Structure 1
């Protein structure tokens, strides 16, 4: 029997069905259902996660995630950026910190007002800490991919390449197994236990997308816990639904000569 990995947005159908969502139905049938949130295994995200887990920055105060483009006419002329991009970048935050205590969303369309969601700044609050997920189609000078500040230090990590310059691949995409160039590594600065300021480079290794398939096989064959939890999936999709509703609440701009 096949056990497909579903793209996050497809899972929306299960969410809208209330308690009879896809994961609940899978449990009833003794099957395994797990969305393909493979971006948890991006090399840059794993570098960020390793810094957080090391404890060197202390308590998280501020984390900013950027995934931006420069496209003069936007990406879509309708909704879709949230479910195409934020489904992964929001999931990365949820995988680190869980369900936020509260949220603040700024969602707009710069190129197609009232018709799209090509700009968003999604803020998630965890106690005294805040994490945000940001995407815009109007960024020609890169932000860092991640900027992290804590009570004991800071970490910043540049994007490997500007997204607007990435070449589209038709068919299977070959994953580069080499580490990122050293000028693309992260920089960690922190105060150690002796009160000294320490600066070090954090390597960015290749993505490890195979881990999600390994975990799925272990969940099916050995009953191991899934690395993508059902609750996490639902939290992400609830956030995307709320953010999309905000985008839809903006009025469509009337063109010249268009009737009211």
Structure 2
């Protein structure tokens, strides 16, 4: 998923990440450097990063090594000649922060959605504190009636860290909602590189070719899970097919 993410800043020196920077109302040189870096990355997705993203960028950069994996149970794993074809996973019920964006391009929608979630994660919430990062960040795609093109609105979802599952913080942004999702199961296959509507559509076609006809899986919507950011040359993503409720 072509997200604007915290790892874009991983290569920068720790000295640039002053602990008080997010609370400093006056821009500093390091603020400008980090913001310009993000703006350069965002421009490849035809997205603009506003100056008020400086605080969240610094907050996530300082905590870039502290990430929580979304819990799941592996149901099955299928390989061919030693190469993973797909696996099935069961994800538990849990609270997700969700935001929907309907930009012209898929990568614009998920980028704009994630910036909103970044603000929520980085103190723009009822707890008034940094919440912590979980991976993957998931985008939910709905298909047009022809089953080929994506609907315009893309939902981007962030699984709340374990610490906040029982007492979810409230977002300040009215566009973000906390959604309690019931347990679900997915067939998942990894892929690497960019995530645009074209590349994601190709991954959907590939997995259907591997699976063949399967009425137990939904065709009207899919998920894309992103573990890394656009600056990683061969970043890890997954396509998720959703199993119908039994």
Tell me which interval the TM-score lies in, with the shorter structure as reference length: under 0.3
Structure with greater strand percent: 2
Using the size of structure 1 for normalisation, the TM-score is 0.25
Bigger Rg over Cα? 1
Using the size of structure 2 for normalisation, the TM-score is 0.26
Structure with greater helix percent: 1
